[in-house]
Amino acid sequence: MTPASPANVPATRPTDPRVTTLAARQAALVAALVADAPPPPGFAPEPLAAARAALLRKRAGEVARYWPLLATGLHPRWLEVFQHWAAGRPPAGALREGWDLARYLHGAGELPPLGADELACWQAGYHYPEPGRPPRPRRLPSWGRVGGAIAIQVAGRVRLLRPARRHP
């Protein structure tokens, strides 16, 4: 119980980090778990770290369901690669996250051929012009090309015409 405050003293001081609204505290907790913000006051750090790692593993599993070839192509380092890339990056949905990761790896010259095949197929089927907005299905016939892989899409059906160059 909080003792009754004198009338001229505010019951809570907004500058006191221990006294804040549930909304603000929930926001601080989520930011600490997914966006590299510092742990909110009072939380034990080890369980929070375990929760952070568990969230990354769950996200990796969800992305691998949308991007099975990318995950397979990175085997046995898939979890490590995903966690390294995703740590501190708030979740954006599995389709987008796999797409962003594939683009990042392509830029770094580390996209495996299977991942290039898969990215080309998604590009043929979906329009994803800018990060921050969800990919949308393409209505017109289209194609995708990544690292030598070429995929085409007609009436919603995607076909990989040529796989990416396999590394020697």
Partner 1 sequence: MTGPVGVGIGWRPEIAGFVAGLPGLRFVEVIAESVPTAGPLPAGLTALRERGVAVVPHGVRLSLGGAEPVDPARVAHLAAVADLTGAALVSEHIAFVRAGGLEAGHLLPLPRSREAVTAVCANVARAQAELPVPIALEPIAALFDWPDDELDEAAFLTEILDRTGAHLLLDVANVYANSRNRGTDPLDLLDRLPLERVAYAHVAGGAEQDGYYHDTHTNPVSRPVLDLVGELCARHRPPALLLERDGNFPPAATLHAELDALAAVGGLPGVT
Q: Which is nearer to partner 1, 66 or 143 (CB)?
A: 66
Does 96 engage in binding with partner 1 (CB under 8 A)?
A: no
Q: Which is nearer to partner 1, 41 or 156 (CB)?
A: 41
Does 79 engage in binding with partner 1 (CB under 8 A)?
A: no
| Residue numbers 21-60 binding partner 1 by CB under 8 A | 21-31, 33-35, 41-44, 47-48, 50-51, 53-55, 58-59
Q: Would you report the helix, strand and coil content of the chain in percent, each value rounded to 5?
A: 45, 10, 40
Does 147 engage in binding with partner 1 (CB under 8 A)?
A: no
Q: Which is nearer to partner 1, 61 or 163 (CB)?
A: 61
Give 56: exposed, middle or buried? Use CB within 10 Å, 0-12, 13-18, 19+. buried
Both tokens of 76, joined, read: 């046995």
Task: Please state, in angstroms and as integers, the Cα–Cα distance from residue 152 to each residue in 14, 25, 40, 73, 159, following that order.
Answer: 57, 48, 49, 21, 5
For residue 158, the SS3 value is strand
Can you give the binding site for partner 1, defined by CB under 8 A? 21-31, 33-35, 41-44, 47-48, 50-51, 53-55, 58-59, 61-62, 65, 90-92
